[in-house]
Amino acid sequence: MSQTAASGVRPIKYAMVGGGQGAFIGAVHRAAARLDGRWELVAGAFSSTPERSRASGAELGLDASRCYGTWQEMLTGERALPEGTRAEAVVIVTPNHTHYSIAKGCLQHGFHVICDKPLVATVEEAQRLVEAAEKSGLVFAVTYNYTGYPMIRKARELVHTGAIGPVRKVFVEYHQGWLATDLEAAGQKQASWRSDPAKSGGGGSIGDIGTHAENLLSFVTGLEITSLAAELTSFVPGRRVDDDATIMLRMTKGARAVITVSQICVGERNNLTLRVHGETGSLFWQQERPEELTVCKLSGERLILSRGDDHGPIAAAATRLPSGHPEGFLEAFGNLYRGAAEAVLARKAGTPAAAESPAALVPGARDGLRGVQFVDACLRSADANAGWVSLDGE
């Protein structure tokens, strides 16, 4: 665990919007932030009512004065506190359709932002946010957490250094089964807002998990999506958004990709799988067995790389335990928080992050925009009966 090395640096103070009692992803963000001791939760607008916000904050050991009823109050309240006491960054873990206003407010008030995905509900909002973020000089991270896995970063490095030759075909699948029945009708909270087009942003599975698949594809290959053709399906009667999608993609440099996304695959849990086939080699990785990266060569050689062995500085910087001591989802998520902390320190110090530093590997507003464009293009293509559409709608 020597890499953990919080090393005498004071933790960065942050506030959270959303993530109150009963929320899943907020707790994950807090645990990920706590993992390396580099972040400290000091305030929050956890729920839509002041009482519930305070109750959540109390459980988290926060002073009642730092538990706000709205994110607006929170931004104002924190800003009024002296430096060294007030939050410097805001973590946004509310339903998608609220991200835009909150994130914009944070930037306007000078807070760094860590925002859950998908970034916002429309391409226009996303573009405005990119502009705002870039003008602000603040850190803007989007928690595409699967990029935090060490072996995904190794895969990216192998592609970028030519280890498998030019990329030809990529398969990304993200299959879950938890929406195989009509959970939203039963009032399940996670299911409800995700399947409400007004809150999710139009896409169902395509927004919720399809954006992760798109991000992994883009992160690892470094290629751009030029056009795509999609079929979206709602299998569960009464569901108002897609719960299944197949997308064929054309990418720069002649590469092709297929993304399949589903939330009705009984028996699947969180099966995000990546296969990258290049001219001279291939890579294979599964989120549910994240410790291994398989590398195949034209010669027929099939090599298993284990997380924690010596795979160079990029993977090492994302690693906490020796090989054979399983790391998982939380550590990967924590790597985004580790990177975001470095990015904040670098901004303060005025030192740009090195190209392959943890800070540079944290997805930002442009990655968030691309995800929103991806969802938008899928919806346009499906409307056009799977016709090919460009990513940027032009």
**Sites for a copy of itself among residues 20-39 (CB under 8 A):** 22, 24, 27-28, 30-31, 34-35, 37
Residues in the chain: 394
User: For residue 159, how many C-alpha atoms fall within 13 Å in the half-sphere facing its CB?
Assistant: 27
Q: 256-262 and 244-251: which strand pairing?
A: antiparallel
The yes or no reply on residue 186 touching a copy of itself (CB under 8 A) is no
Q: Is the dihedral of CA 14, 17, 20, 24 positive or negative?
A: negative
Question: Using CB under 8 A, which residues numbered 102 to 131 contact a copy of itself?
Answer: none
* Residue 78 or 173 having the CB closest to a copy of itself: 173
Instruction: Please choose, from the candidates 332, 217, 233, 320, the residue with its C-alpha nearest in 3D space to the C-alpha of residue 275.
Output: 217
The yes or no reply on residue 248 touching a copy of itself (CB under 8 A) is yes
Question: Using CB under 8 A, which residues numbered 266 to 325 contact a copy of itself?
Answer: 266-271, 275, 277-282, 284, 287-291, 294, 296-298, 300-306, 308-310, 320-325
* Residue 97 or 320 having the CB closest to a copy of itself: 320
- Measured between alpha carbons, how far is 155 from 46 in angstroms, rounded to an integer? 37
- Measured between alpha carbons, how far is 91 from 286 in angstroms, rounded to an integer? 28
Question: Using CB under 8 A, which residues numbered 365 to 394 contact a copy of itself?
Answer: 385-388
- Measured between alpha carbons, how far is 295 from 164 in angstroms, rounded to an integer? 9
The yes or no reply on residue 1 touching a copy of itself (CB under 8 A) is yes
Question: Using CB under 8 A, which residues numbered 152 to 181 contact a copy of itself?
Answer: 164, 168-169, 171, 173, 176-177, 180-181
* Residue 136 or 271 having the CB closest to a copy of itself: 271
Q: What SS3 class is residue 389?
A: strand
* Residue 192 or 270 having the CB closest to a copy of itself: 270
The yes or no reply on residue 46 touching a copy of itself (CB under 8 A) is no
Q: Based on the number of CB atoms within 10 Å of its own CB, is 88 exposed (0-12), middle (13-18) or buried (19 or more)?
A: buried
Among the listed residues 81, 163, 330, 345, the single contact to a copy of itself using CB under 8 A: 330
* Residue 45 or 305 having the CB closest to a copy of itself: 305
Among the listed residues 81, 163, 185, 258, the single contact to a copy of itself using CB under 8 A: 258
* Residue 26 or 339 having the CB closest to a copy of itself: 26
Question: Using CB under 8 A, which residues numbered 203 to 242 contact a copy of itself?
Answer: 229, 231, 233, 235
* Residue 75 or 382 having the CB closest to a copy of itself: 382
DSSP 91-116: EE-S-GGGHHHHHHHHHHTT-EEEEP
For residue 50, give both structure tokens: 């002041």
Q: How far is the CB of 137 from a copy of itself (least distance, A)?
A: 28
- Measured between alpha carbons, how far is 384 from 144 in angstroms, rounded to an integer? 29
Cβ count near 91 (within 10 Å): 30
The yes or no reply on residue 101 touching a copy of itself (CB under 8 A) is no
Q: How far is the CB of 365 from a copy of itself (least distance, A)?
A: 26
* Residue 131 or 309 having the CB closest to a copy of itself: 309
DSSP 339-371: HHHHHHHHHHHT-PPPTTSTTTTS--HHHHHHH
Q: How far is the CB of 389 from a copy of itself (least distance, A)?
A: 11
Number of residues that bind a copy of itself (CB under 8 A): 93
**Which ranges of the chain does DSSP label H, i.e. alpha helix?**
24-34, 50-59, 71-79, 99-108, 123-136, 150-160, 189-194, 197-200, 205-208, 210-221, 312-317, 329-349, 365-383
